[in-house]
Amino acid sequence: MKTSQNTVLITGGSAGIGFEIAKQLSAKNNHVIIVGRNPERLQKAAAQLQNVTAISADISNAADVENLVTKLLSDFPKLNIVINNAGAAAGLSDLLNNTDTFERASIEMHTNYLSIIRLNEKLLPLLKKQTEAAIVNVSSIVAFLPGKVTATYSASKAALHSYTQALRVALEDTNVKVFELMPPLVDTEFSTEINGHLGIKPSQVADEFLAALETDNYEIRVAGTEQFYQLYLSSPAEALKVLHGRAS
């Protein structure tokens, strides 16, 4: 997949991983459209970038999505890359003591999974018109095994992983390539509650993503997550212990 002269949509593009990817793509002669829920933070992010358009929208809100898609179809007919980065983590999971697990899970599943299906479905007709196009779904290494304190978040990313694989198969005879970006813990505001400061920098995720995009590496396991994935394939039980710091 070429990494320049594209028109790229990045949801959740005003901070964290999304912002770093936007920063690198905008510097490589791509026109980048960043989408975020917070207009003030969105404009602040856009002011730091070149070749960028900022659109305020909540991808979990049906009306916002309709308005976003209408604008994209009208103003950006060459849109050829969609990066589904926006996500929600509704707090730490305590499956024994929480009394609002259903509500938390509903928010995460809607934002991290169902909303992505909706946006992809609405933009696929436009993507199919391009010479070369791509959908990038940002999941997580916990798509394979659940984090102890992120059980429902992990479940939403597992659903996204399954959907992404199916979408890739469905589109394999078209011009639309399907990528999945699977970072580990990343040092962002989003991950503050789960000791995100111990994670890798968002710039490293962006670096490895761009390299994988250029070489058509469709499943992008960032940093040490490839080693974890290989352990998972050989021994899921041992990988689960490693994830929870109980390796034998």
Active site residue 153: yes
The one catalytic residue in 113, 153, 163, 232 is 153
pLDDT by residue (tens digit) across 171-210?
999 999 999 999 987 666 665 565 456 568 989 999 999 9
Q: What is the rounded CA–CA span in Å between residue 58 and residue 68? A: 9
Q: Give residue 244's pLDDT band: very low, low, confident or very high (50, 70, 90).
A: confident
Half-sphere exposure of residue 168, counting CA atoms within 13 Å on the CB side? 15
H-run or E-run covering 60: none
Domains of the chain (ranges, CATH numbers)? 7-243 (3.40.50.720)
- pTM of the entire structure? 0.93
Q: What is the mean pLDDT of residues 5-10?
A: 98
The residue type of 231 is L
List, as own/partner pairs, every contact residues 29-35 make where C-beta atoms lie below 8 angstroms and the sequence separation is at least 24, other chains included. 29/4, 29/5, 30/3, 30/4, 30/5, 30/6, 30/81, 31/6, 31/7, 31/76, 32/8, 33/7, 33/8, 33/9, 33/72, 33/76, 33/79, 34/10, 35/9, 35/10, 35/11, 35/59, 35/68, 35/86
On the question of pLDDT at 138 being above 90, the answer is yes
